[in-house]
Amino acid sequence: EGDMAEVQVRTGFAQRLRALTRAAHEEAESRPFVRALLAGRVEADGFAALLAQHYFAYRVLEDAADRMRSDLIAGPFVSDRLHRLSALESDLHYYLGPDWRGLIRPSAATEVYCARLREVCFDRPECFVAHHYTRYLGDLSGGQVLRAALSRSLGLVDDGGFAFLTFEEIPNRPRFKDAYRTLLDTAGWDGAAENRIIAEVRHAFALNAAVLDELGRRLVPPIPRPRR
Ligand code: 1FH
């Protein structure tokens, strides 16, 4: 307390990005499937279905990260400590067994998401950052809320099946997110570039919401309409 250095008021791009995509976040966060997950109404196979869809998207996103690693602007955002692909592989093995690769396929919404990732993340650094931000800052934030809810509802004793939601190499998540936001603030984008990023983050949220909706239609039984 009283230490002004700790009371850092942000007015930069990171704060603007967060404020201008808040509605899109709320839209994604309020999908019935997400509510069911948080309420403990989804069994392990439902969570595995989510991980399976993530697997296809992260495969593309992390391929793009490899490409962007040497980019002057996007490169600093790339961190192996964030990468989720091997975590997804071990979780899918945990839930589905050794033949997991043959048991999963991308949904229609995941195909659309992956197509967009392939289209923009390999040669447009700003778009790559937009998709990178949407997933990893989400995993470091809401993902942790989800982790707490699932460990209660699925009653898992060990950490098996939770690798995706566990960032072992990032013990201090708030500090990591803060450093990430500083990168956003100091990347040196002009107003037009910032607006392109904001638009792509909104797009990324919508693509994610569509994946969640599709999972919800498969797993959350619809409330029956009263017959008249
Ligand atoms: Fe979120 N998120 N999120 N989130 N989230 C927060 C920040 C971000 C939830 C809560 C929070 C998703 C999901 C969920 C982002 C993306 C995505 C914060 C603020 C909270 C409280 C943390 C802070 O102050 O540091 C809850 C609850 C979720 C459901 C379980 C999904 C939809 C992600 C998008 C694909 C991003 C980018 C941020 C960073 C904002 C910033 O700039 O600070 C979620 C849905 C998780 C479905 C799992 C499953």
pLDDT in tens, 24-79: 999 999 999 999 999 999 999 999 999 999 999 999 999 999 999 999 999 999 99
In the three-class reduction of DSSP (H, G, I as helix; E, B as strand; rest coil), residue 27 is classed as helix
Q: What is the CA radius of gyration of the chain?
A: 18
How many helices and strands in the chain, by DSSP H and E?
11, 0
Residue closest by Cα to atom 42 of ligand 1: 18
Identify the segments of the chain with pLDDT beneath 50: 1-3
Closest C-alpha residue for ligand 1 atom 4: 138
Ligand 1 lined by 138 (C-beta under 6 Å)? yes
Burial of 102-136, coded b for 16+ CB within 10 Å and e otherwise, reads eebebbebbebbbebbeebbbebbbbbbbbbbbbb
pLDDT over 90, % of the chain: 84
- Ligand 1 centroid vs 139 CA: distance in angstroms? 7
Taking Cα atoms as reference points, which of 140, 169, 149, 188 lies closest to residue 33? 149
Residue nearest to atom 37 of ligand 1 (CA): 134
Task: Write down the pLDDT at residue 215.
Answer: 95
Q: What is the pLDDT of residue 2?
A: 44
User: Cα(16)–Cα(36) distance, rounded to whole angstroms?
Assistant: 30
183 lines ligand 1 (CB under 6 A): no
